[in-house]
Structure 1
Amino acid sequence: MFKPSWALLLSAVPTAVSATDAVEHISVYANRIPVATSEVLASVSVLDRADIEARQASDLPALLAQLPGITISRDGGRGQNSGLYLRGGNNGHTLVLIDGVRSGSATLGYKTLSMLPLALIERIEVIRGPRAAWYGADALAGVIAITTRQASGVELTADVGSYGQAGASINASQQQGDLTLSATAGYSRADGFNVRNDLDNDRDGYQQRFAKLVAAYQTGLGLWRGQVDVNSGFYQFDTAWGSEDQAETLNRSYLLGWEHQQGSWQHQAQFSRTLDDDTTYGPVSQSPYVTERDEFNYQAATALTDSLSGLAGVNWYQESVARSGVAYVKDNRLNRAAFAGLQFAAQGLRLDGAVRRDLTDQYGGNTTWQLAAGVDLSDAMQLRLSRGSAFKTPTFNDLYYPGSANPDLQPEKTLSNEIALSYQLAAATLQLAWFKQDVDNLIQFDFATYTPQNIERAKISGVELSVDLRWDSVEQTISYSWLDTENTLTGQRLARRPEHNVNWRLTQQWQQLSGFVTADYQSDTYQGEYASSPYLGGFTVFGVGGSFALSPALSLSAKVDNLFDKHYQTSSGYETAGVNFGLSLQYKLP
């Protein structure tokens, strides 16, 4: 899917509101077309650039951990590997889109987020619940859609922090008639800390460089856009498996997109090529893993009547293992798909439906669908119900990695239900959702046979509550998630899914000065039968921060994370950061 024009998106999303006004965000990806989040029949969270900057998160996993339904398991600090569990799904059950493009390693089966810099991100949309009827494989638990930077004017940012953290970035754009050029570049690094006290007694840090160039040209035949992204660097880690303890990374993407409004029809098309390169190495060996993906999307949307609209399109992608340290029995696969959906809205009733047919050269055809209904109980309250299916094909590592593969694996399949109630006023917003997901053929690694196996079924259910209160210059947000998971084969909880999660944030604005306080709680987690510590205890971590506008163009921000130096782990054996600070300076010219 190609994102809508920035003129449309920026005109639709307010960038600054008073604390007493409710912010109406726009969802771009939930239905593949721009829709106000209050009209989307799914649980959606949207963070724009102002939100990202205000939260002052150390990296993308830390930012996502503040949102409802998301749990992050970290193998160390900034730059090290982290796992994302959305609504109890596996790490690979959340599809990550970057500028509308499917991203991630074909060997791992998911996108690693720890080396995706926040300085490169303009907007994040998290859709909780299956979206395979629109996007195909991997969207079992939901979708995280990231839009990269395309700032107006010139923006310079520099930051420093604990553990040798330092970074700088620049964003610039220029318009000449119908041509708009924009560029982003940056650098970041940290010495880090020792993430495994029982292994190498050294610091585990990272370095990173990134750049992006975009050209957009408006013609009578539509808006054409070309884009190149490069993100490279290295990170250090500790492992008990072999001597390799560093990795070089390279992510590169090329995009060519087109969109055109013709009468009531909106056409979008995009071709992309992406490369994901992660090479681990040590004193005596190295293991490269390079995967590539070519993808084409086309969709057309139109209003069929005053109350009924439709969208249909096609999707094609081919992914391959371009280079690896081991020989895979099969190193490429092809997926072709067609999808269509209808949206109806009239007199306080909304109905959504979508269906998609995927055809892979490994497993044949797979049909997914979703249905949703929403009823306005009053001007401020809405009740919605949804049901949908999804699937995920086994990864190249699952099927073909020498010595630990299982070529007999079947695709994971899910059926999900959700019932939600939302209440929105100018000074208060409340969302309460119950969800249930049955996962058939869930793939779990079996340490007894040292191969991945399909278990008969996993059951996942939970409740999410989010509250946003605004009064004068004070805003308070609270989210609570309760999760119940079960591996029906063993009767045990699924690993690394805490039963309870609470995120609290209080912000206040005093003219040019703003400040915030945060508290994040996570209950104990089951780490797995073969983990060094099968259970990890719960914890609460506090943070404070603020920003001061030195001038209309210059601002200074500071924050302290883990204020009381809490010692805790989210992945068995791996340390997390102690008390740490960050300081950043930002200069903007229109």
Structure 2
Amino acid sequence: MAIGERRAHAARVYPLIVGGWLGVSVSALAQPVQMDPVVVTATRVTTPLTELVADVSIIDRAQLEQAGLQSLIDVLANLPGVQVTFNGSYRSNSGVFLRGASSSQTILLINGVRVGSATTGSYSLESLPLDRIERVEVLRGAAAALYGPDAVGGVIQVFTREPQDGLTRSASVGAGTDGQRKLGASLQGQSGDWGYSLGASHERAKGINVKLPGASGFNADADGFEYSSLDASVRYRVNARHLVSAQVLLSDGEYGFDGAPFPNPLSLNAATARAVAYPRLEQQVLKWSADWTAEWTSTLTYGHSRDVSVNRYWRIADGAAAGQSRFNTTRSQLIWQNDVRLGRDTLSVIAEQRKDEVDSTTNYTVSSRTLRGLAASYAMNGQDWNGLVTARHDRNSQFGSFNTWALSAGYKLSPSLRLVGSTGTTFQAPSFNQLYFPGFGNPDLTPQKGRAHELGLRYQQGSTRASAVLYRNRVQGFITPSTNVQSNQAVLEGVTLTWDQSWGATALSVSYDHADPRLKPSNDRVLRVARHVLRTQVSHRQGAWQSYAELRLSSDREDAQFPGRVTLPGYGVLNVGAAYQIRPNLTVQVRLNNLTDKAYSLANGYTMPGRNLFVSLNWND
């Protein structure tokens, strides 16, 4: 891919948060388990976890507070079915593979509204500071019938900080190796019919030299980052039936990478050019919720976002400007959802419209796209079984109309054992880069159409929880991200096993993923996806102390090395940490990542950070 377009660079070691999953992740450091949490993303309606068929994980605020100076993608790497990739230093661009599907095949929602880049078809998870996030829900599995195009691998939904009853204040400060620094503060409260939340954070690091000697485009410098973020939320209870709210999120950053400009008027290369990316994420959401009757609720949501990607270049020798590139997406979305409760069942009807507009230094043949969708779902809840039926019709201004559907069901085989399964279809149109980027795009590409199936068992008895999920997703006309070649088919299949056990103050969690996504008819592996990943986390609480250890073992993966492929070796990473509660509202935390200083790579030509330490002080009132 060319230089200007969101280079996957990035960032941080993977701090694996202590937890376990059975459709929901457990809080780190042996926090108390919420026995019956609710989930929104799986059905677009607030639903108790015990009534869900879908495979969902929840990352709550307690887990996010344990993460230190990490990005959201670092935290996601701890979840079953999720693999990530980095090509750079701290907090630069990255990618996520959900059940073998790439970032462009998994959609990102913030407060219910989709964000991302229309040029790459992806999004900037690294631009989302953890201090500004209240909760994350990850839906694994095809979800196009519920959320529209591109939800091939699943959905990641982020909820920013929310108003709280009374008055809540918090602040944090931290520092670590490689020049890591962090500072954040937030204020949340409720007064009468008004609720409010306000927060800000600043993060930075000097970074590391992330490219391996001899790699293409090598520059022996440290690529650092700096991010400043702000979020604000206000809601007003008009009366017993009507609630209005507004939310704002802003993240503004910069990070260094190795590269040269294109066009290249000063004839620079990666060793003679200073290259800096300036990502920026803006989002505003307005929402009106109305309870028209005891059974009928409607929500009208308007969202506006800007995904900004600007790269600038200078000659190292004298600081002369050498050019810049710009790839910005402005997205507006209107969603009208109506939910009607029929006894224990719920009928939902959803109408939405989204418009994407591209502003770029690259001349795209088409620079805007409008999508309109209409969906209906029916959630059934019996005594021992439940299910969800969904049908959707979408119209794409470039590719016309298409339909998707999904069926899912769950049945209690016994009080502790549940059988779940689903089947459905997906649709994904090519991104603007895939169609029109100079020297890379192919305007003859056609949409990718898929059929997905999964079958699972879930067990819960006392403090023991376990699950097993088999999945298979066949995508016709799969577009290989690195080459932009349309294969006949890709088969994304695998199995995920999880086990979570606690003994009083001690908690153990183990998960294993076998993923084997393949291109047909060549049978080549999908790049950057390991076939085997084993995660083990153990934590213990003793008085004011909490301690934990996290181990991740991964098999090899393949990556592009033009004109062929290269195998990246497997690896094992061990992280340890501890927290001490100095006072009821004051805690000090220490994380030591990559304890054995393991050298490993998740992308060809790049290395990951070695042993690094981060210490933070956190205050909550």
TM-score, length basis structure 1: 0.93
Other-structure match for 1:285 = 323
Check if 1:274 corresponds to 2:305. Answer: yes
- Once the two structures are TM-superposed, the CA of residue 196 in structure 1 deviates from its matched residue by 1.1
Percent identity for Structure 1 against Structure 2: 29
Check if 1:507 corresponds to 2:539. Answer: yes
Superposed, 1:302-321 pairs within 5 Å as 302-304=340-342, 306-321=343-358
Q: In structure 1, what is the Cα distance between the partners aligned to 2:114 and 2:170?
A: 28
Check if 1:432 corresponds to 2:468. Answer: yes
- Once the two structures are TM-superposed, the CA of residue 533 in structure 1 deviates from its matched residue by 6.6
Q: Choose from 242, 253, 256 the match for 2:283.
A: 253
Is the CA contact (8 Å cut-off) linking 1:21 and 1:427 kept in structure 2? no
Q: In structure 2, what is the Cα distance between the partners aligned to 1:462 and 1:231?
A: 36
Deviations 1:36-92 (A, max 9, x none): 222211111111101222354722121111100111111123212211111011221
Superposed, 1:220-235 pairs within 5 Å as 220=239, 221-235=241-255
Is the CA contact (8 Å cut-off) linking 1:328 and 1:400 kept in structure 2? yes
Is the CA contact (8 Å cut-off) linking 1:191 and 1:204 kept in structure 2? yes
Check if 1:356 corresponds to 2:395. Answer: no
The amino acid of 1:226's aligned partner reads: A
Q: In structure 2, what is the Cα distance between the partners aligned to 1:173 and 1:30?
A: 27
Other-structure match for 1:400 = 436
The amino acid of 2:246's aligned partner reads: G
- Once the two structures are TM-superposed, the CA of residue 413 in structure 1 deviates from its matched residue by 1.4
The amino acid of 2:204's aligned partner reads: R
Q: In structure 2, what is the Cα distance between the partners aligned to 1:232 and 1:378?
A: 51
Other-structure match for 2:125 = 113
- Once the two structures are TM-superposed, the CA of residue 531 in structure 1 deviates from its matched residue by 7.5
The amino acid of 1:515's aligned partner reads: S
In structure 2, runs of 5+ residues without a counterpart are 1-24, 263-272, 315-321
SS of aligned partner of 2:66: helix
Structure with the bigger RCO (C-alpha within 8 Å, sep 6+) is 2
Other-structure match for 1:297 = 335
Shift in alpha-carbon separation, 1:151–1:260, aligned structure 2, 3 A? closer
Deviations 1:319-356 (A, max 9, x none): 010x2111111110100000011111112011211011
Deviations 1:88-107 (A, max 9, x none): 11221111111111011111
SS of aligned partner of 2:486: strand
Shift in alpha-carbon separation, 1:316–1:21, aligned structure 2, 3 A? closer
- Once the two structures are TM-superposed, the CA of residue 289 in structure 1 deviates from its matched residue by 1.1
Q: In structure 1, what is the Cα distance between the partners aligned to 2:27 and 2:534?
A: 27
SS of aligned partner of 1:453: coil
SS of aligned partner of 1:417: strand
Q: In structure 2, what is the Cα distance between the partners aligned to 1:19 and 1:407?
A: 52
Check if 1:33 corresponds to 2:53. Answer: no
Is the CA contact (8 Å cut-off) linking 1:502 and 1:522 kept in structure 2? yes
The amino acid of 2:401's aligned partner reads: G
Other-structure match for 1:9 = none
Is the CA contact (8 Å cut-off) linking 1:19 and 1:474 kept in structure 2? no
Q: Choose from 470, 478, 481 the match for 1:442.
A: 478
Other-structure match for 2:17 = none
SS of aligned partner of 1:66: coil
Superposed, 1:339-488 pairs within 5 Å as 339-445=375-481, 447=483, 452-488=484-520
Is the CA contact (8 Å cut-off) linking 1:554 and 1:586 kept in structure 2? yes
Other-structure match for 2:610 = 578
Shift in alpha-carbon separation, 1:20–1:257, aligned structure 2, 3 A? closer
Check if 1:77 corresponds to 2:89. Answer: yes
Q: In structure 2, what is the Cα distance between the partners aligned to 1:445 and 1:132?
A: 20
Is the CA contact (8 Å cut-off) linking 2:204 and 2:226 kept in structure 1? yes
Q: In structure 2, what is the Cα distance between the partners aligned to 1:77 and 1:115?
A: 14
Shift in alpha-carbon separation, 1:181–1:266, aligned structure 2, 3 A? same
SS of aligned partner of 1:399: helix
My pick for the range that moved more, 528-537 or 493-502, is: 528-537
Q: Which runs of 4+ in 1 moved over 3 A?
A: 13-23, 54-57, 239-244
Q: In structure 2, what is the Cα distance between the partners aligned to 1:440 and 1:25?
A: 37
SS of aligned partner of 1:534: strand
Shift in alpha-carbon separation, 1:555–1:20, aligned structure 2, 3 A? closer
Is the CA contact (8 Å cut-off) linking 1:532 and 1:573 kept in structure 2? no
Q: In structure 2, what is the Cα distance between the partners aligned to 1:584 and 1:36?
A: 34
Q: In structure 1, what is the Cα distance between the partners aligned to 2:183 and 2:402?
A: 46
Other-structure match for 2:62 = 50
**What RMSD in Å do the two structures reach over aligned CA positions?**
1.9
The amino acid of 2:355's aligned partner reads: Q
| Corresponding residue pairs, total | 571
Q: Choose from 527, 534, 541 the match for 2:573.
A: 541
SS of aligned partner of 1:114: helix
Q: In structure 2, what is the Cα distance between the partners aligned to 1:21 and 1:271?
A: 34
Q: Choose from 224, 227, 238 the match for 1:205.
A: 224
- Once the two structures are TM-superposed, the CA of residue 369 in structure 1 deviates from its matched residue by 0.8
Q: In structure 2, what is the Cα distance between the partners aligned to 1:486 and 1:396?
A: 25
Other-structure match for 1:7 = none
Shift in alpha-carbon separation, 1:16–1:507, aligned structure 2, 3 A? closer
Q: In structure 2, what is the Cα distance between the partners aligned to 1:143 and 1:273?
A: 19
Q: In structure 2, what is the Cα distance between the partners aligned to 1:473 and 1:531?
A: 53
The amino acid of 1:282's aligned partner reads: Y
Is the CA contact (8 Å cut-off) linking 1:20 and 1:471 kept in structure 2? no
My pick for the range that moved more, 504-513 or 438-447, is: 438-447
Shift in alpha-carbon separation, 1:192–1:340, aligned structure 2, 3 A? same
- Once the two structures are TM-superposed, the CA of residue 446 in structure 1 deviates from its matched residue by 6.6
The amino acid of 1:266's aligned partner reads: T
TM-score, length basis structure 2: 0.89
Is the CA contact (8 Å cut-off) linking 2:198 and 2:233 kept in structure 1? yes
Is the CA contact (8 Å cut-off) linking 1:19 and 1:475 kept in structure 2? no
Superposed, 1:175-194 pairs within 5 Å as 175-194=190-209
Q: In structure 1, what is the Cα distance between the partners aligned to 2:28 and 2:325?
A: 47
Shift in alpha-carbon separation, 1:20–1:280, aligned structure 2, 3 A? closer
